[in-house]
């Protein structure tokens, strides 16, 4: 994933820095980028080749920070504009100071048609240097890769050379600082290594370790390299062939990288889908279990049933059902004794029963989802990035659950009211006490398929039947069954809303990633097209 981000960045750079400018101006001067390890003598080499100190070598590593581009005065127009390397500001006169600038130097020692860029090192402790060097090398028509006798087997340069081979970029290798007499042993070894990496055709130039003359490598030593570059500059045909080859390689590489990015994108989409489905599954299961709990009377058992028995046993239910007076009497009693009425306790039991179940199921689902996410690297980082603690249900779940249940109970009353209106029995229903009827309806809701044990039915079943019979007598047997089903559906709907909100804590960060599976296919299509264009 991170690699893909890097690939995208470098592919975009490659496109802006090289492919597009080159396609627009196929006749522009060729750009030779001199790259290599720190301390390999790149700057000295560039100075020596053009016989002028355009870039300052030094002993402190790394030396070159701002890249220096040397061109013939006639070619200035091609480089002063932001045609190539648009991300780097142009400066001149040795004022360049950072890795975001490009120093331009015009020198007559260089033939028109070829420019030389002295890039920073590829392997020092300064990471900006390494990144810029990689970017500059991608912008080259020709790599002049400088290494030394001490370095030619280093791992880092060979990673770059492998990349050069992959890209098919034109390459020349300079082996600098060869100790006297060591050439005979090193050069064949280097040639062998190049051949192993599929770079056998790259010209190699050896330069012995020797005292500098006025800061330049003696002309005789750099002559082969300079002549080769001169020849390249002079020979329009060879140069365009070289440019074409590098360009084709770059475009082909771009296509490959696009395909690679598309694949990574696919994987990312797949991961996101998997993470989302784990969450959806966990919360869907929680909802299913709650639905079962409601349907099989689980909520009724225990505390709720005991309160129901109280309610029926004390005759309060009948009073609730029968007369306003009775209800008032119970209320006054409750006010005097300071104890909640039995019907309040019954409703409280139902509320806390549903709430406890709801919270436990949400906690389970949250746990399941968080555990699954933690096992996945992408999921783990999403968990870590989340501002609230996703391993636990949201902090206000208890309040929301309570409100939800109260709303549901309120809905139950509305249901009864409208049902009463339909039956043109509003008056009767009202006179019999909505509250009591709602309580009977609640029991009917939860006792649909029974699910109660024999003993519990023995205690409460009979007495609940008393109330149920009454309500049935008022509204009709069918109506009670339908109302109970509606009340269940309503509870399920409200539960769904609550669970959705909990699951969105996981799903929203995923959705914020804005992943679109079609995008990978679009990328692949583009890559295909690129390849086709290159082939023709």
Partner 1 sequence: MSDDDWGSTSGGAPDSGRRSRKATRAADELANRLEVLDRVAALADGRIEATTAQRAASALEGARARLGHGSTHTVVALAGATGSGKSSLFNALLGDDLAPVGVRRPTTSHARAAVVGGGAESLLDWLEIPRRHHVEPTQTTDDAADLTGLVLVDLPDHDSTEAAHRAEVDRLVKVVDAFIWVVDPQKYADAALHEGYLRRFAGHSAVTLVVLNQVDLLAPADRSATQEHLGRLLGEDGLIGARVLALSARTGDGVAQLRQELAARVAERRALVARLSADLDWVANGLSIAVGDVVPDRVQGESAKRLADALARAAGVEAVADAVGAAHRRRSAQVAGWPPSRWVGRLRPDPLRRMGLDRGHRSDDPVGPSNDLDTVTVPRTSRAGPTAVADAGVDQALRALVDRTTDGLPELWRHRVSEVALQRRDELPDALDRAVGSTTMPTERPGWWSAASVAQWLFTAAMAVGVAWLALMGVVAWLGLPDLPAPSVGVMPWPTLLALGGAAAGLLLAAVVARLASVGGTRRAARARSSLVDATAVVAEQLVVRPVDAELEALAELGTLARQLAR
Q: How far is the CB of 154 from partner 1 (least distance, A)?
A: 5
Pull the structure tokens for residue 199: 């770079």
Cα separation, 248 vs 235, whole angstroms:
20
Planar angle of CA 303, 308, 310, nearest 5 degrees: 95
Facing residues of 137 across strands?
Answer: none
DSSP secondary structure string for all residues of 381-411: HHHHH-SS-TTS--TTHHHHHHHHHHHHHHH
- The smaller minimum CB distance to partner 1, of residues 41 and 113, is found at 41
Cα separation, 520 vs 526, whole angstroms:
10
- The smaller minimum CB distance to partner 1, of residues 284 and 296, is found at 296
Q: How far is the CB of 347 from partner 1 (least distance, A)?
A: 15
- The smaller minimum CB distance to partner 1, of residues 14 and 38, is found at 38
- The smaller minimum CB distance to partner 1, of residues 106 and 148, is found at 148
Q: How far is the CB of 158 from partner 1 (least distance, A)?
A: 5
Is 298 within 8 Å of 360 (Cβ atoms)?
Answer: no
Q: Which residues of this chain interact with partner 1, rule CB under 8 A?
A: 37-40, 59-62, 123-127, 130, 148-156, 158, 177, 179, 182, 185-186, 189, 193, 209, 293, 298-299, 301-304, 306, 353, 356-357, 359-361, 363-364, 391-392, 453, 455-456
- The smaller minimum CB distance to partner 1, of residues 93 and 454, is found at 454
Q: Which of 450, 459, 466, 468 is nearest to 309 (CA)?
A: 459
Q: Which of 536, 515, 526 is nearest to 265 (CA)?
A: 515
Q: How far is the CB of 397 from partner 1 (least distance, A)?
A: 11
Q: How far is the CB of 237 from partner 1 (least distance, A)?
A: 36
- The smaller minimum CB distance to partner 1, of residues 106 and 221, is found at 221
Is 119 within 8 Å of 224 (Cβ atoms)?
Answer: no
Q: How far is the CB of 94 from partner 1 (least distance, A)?
A: 20
Q: Which of 279, 258, 308, 432 is nearest to 367 (CA)?
A: 279
Pull the structure tokens for residue 48: 């020596």
Pull the structure tokens for residue 242: 């070289």
Is 524 within 8 Å of 262 (Cβ atoms)?
Answer: yes
Cα separation, 59 vs 53, whole angstroms:
16
- The smaller minimum CB distance to partner 1, of residues 20 and 360, is found at 360
Q: Which of 151, 24, 36 is nearest to 86 (CA)?
A: 24
Chain-centroid distance, C-alpha 6: 14
Q: Which ranges in 300-425 belong to alpha helices (H)?
A: 303-313, 316-322, 324-337, 342-374, 377-385, 397-422
Q: How far is the CB of 401 from partner 1 (least distance, A)?
A: 12
- The smaller minimum CB distance to partner 1, of residues 385 and 424, is found at 385
- The smaller minimum CB distance to partner 1, of residues 62 and 326, is found at 62
Q: How far is the CB of 124 from partner 1 (least distance, A)?
A: 5
Q: How far is the CB of 109 from partner 1 (least distance, A)?
A: 26
């Amino acid at each position: 994933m991170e690699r893909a981000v890097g690939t995208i960045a470098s592919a975009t750079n490659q496109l802006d820095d090289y492919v597009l400018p080159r396609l627009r101006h196929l006749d522009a001067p060729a750009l030779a980028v001199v790259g290599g390890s720190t301390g390999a003598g790149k700057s000295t080499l560039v100075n020596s080749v053009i016989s002028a100190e355009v870039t300052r070598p030094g002993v402190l590593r790394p030396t070159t920070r701002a890249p220096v581009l040397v061109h013939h005065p006639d070619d200035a127009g091609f480089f002063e504009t932001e045609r190539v390397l648009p991300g780097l500001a142009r400066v001149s006169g040795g004022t360049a100071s950072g890795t975001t600038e490009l120093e331009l130097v015009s020198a007559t020692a260089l033939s028109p048609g070829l420019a030389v860029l002295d890039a920073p090192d590829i392997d020092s402790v300064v990471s900006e240097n390494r990144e810029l060097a990689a970017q500059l090398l991608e912008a080259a028509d020709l790599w002049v890769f400088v290494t030394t006798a001490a370095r030619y087997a280093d791992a880092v340069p060979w990673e770059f050379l492998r990349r050069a081979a992959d890209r098919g970029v034109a390459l020349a290798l300079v082996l600098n600082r060869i100790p006297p007499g060591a050439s005979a042993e090193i050069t064949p070894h280097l040639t062998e290594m190049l051949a192993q990496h599929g770079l056998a055709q790259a010209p190699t130039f050896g330069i012995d370790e020797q005292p500098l003359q006025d800061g330049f490598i003696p002309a005789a030593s750099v002559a082969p390299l300079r002549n080769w570059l001169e020849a390249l500059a002079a020979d329009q045909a060879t140069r365009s062939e070289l440019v074409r080859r590098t360009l084709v390689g770059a475009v082909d590489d771009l296509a490959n990288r696009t395909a690679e990015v598309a694949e990574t994108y696919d994987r990312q989409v797949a991961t996101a889908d998997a993470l989302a489905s784990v969450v959806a599954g966990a919360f869907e299961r929680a909802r299913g279990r709650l639905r079962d709990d409601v349907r099989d009377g689980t909520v009724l058992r225990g505390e709720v049933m005991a309160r129901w028995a109280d309610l029926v046993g004390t005759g309060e239910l009948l009073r609730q059902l029968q007369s306003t007076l009775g209800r008032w009497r119970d209320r006054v009693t409750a006010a005097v004794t300071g104890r909640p009425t039995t019907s309040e306790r019954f409703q409280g039991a139902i509320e806390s029963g549903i709430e406890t179940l709801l919270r436990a199921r949400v906690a389970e689902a949250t746990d399941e989802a968080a555990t699954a996410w933690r096992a996945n690297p992408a999921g783990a980082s999403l968990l870590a990035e989340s501002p609230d603690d996703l391993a636990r249900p949201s902090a206000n779940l208890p309040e929301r659950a309570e409100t939800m249940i109260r709303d549901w109970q309120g809905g139950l009353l509305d249901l009864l009211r409208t049902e009463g209106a339909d039956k043109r029995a509003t008056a009767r229903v009202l006179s019999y006490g909505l509250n009591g009827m709602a309580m009977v309806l609640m029991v009917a809701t939860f006792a649909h398929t029974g699910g109660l044990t024999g003993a519990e039915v023995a205690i409460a079943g009979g007495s609940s039947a008393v109330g149920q019979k009454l309500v049935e007598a008022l509204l009709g047997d069918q109506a009670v069954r339908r109302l109970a089903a509606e009340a269940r559906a309503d509870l399920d709907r409200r539960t769904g809303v609550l669970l959705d909100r909990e699951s969105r804590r996981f799903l929203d960060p995923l959705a914020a990633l804005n992943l679109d599976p079609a995008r990978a296919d679009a990328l692949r299509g583009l890559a295909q097209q690129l390849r086709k264009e290159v082939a023709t």
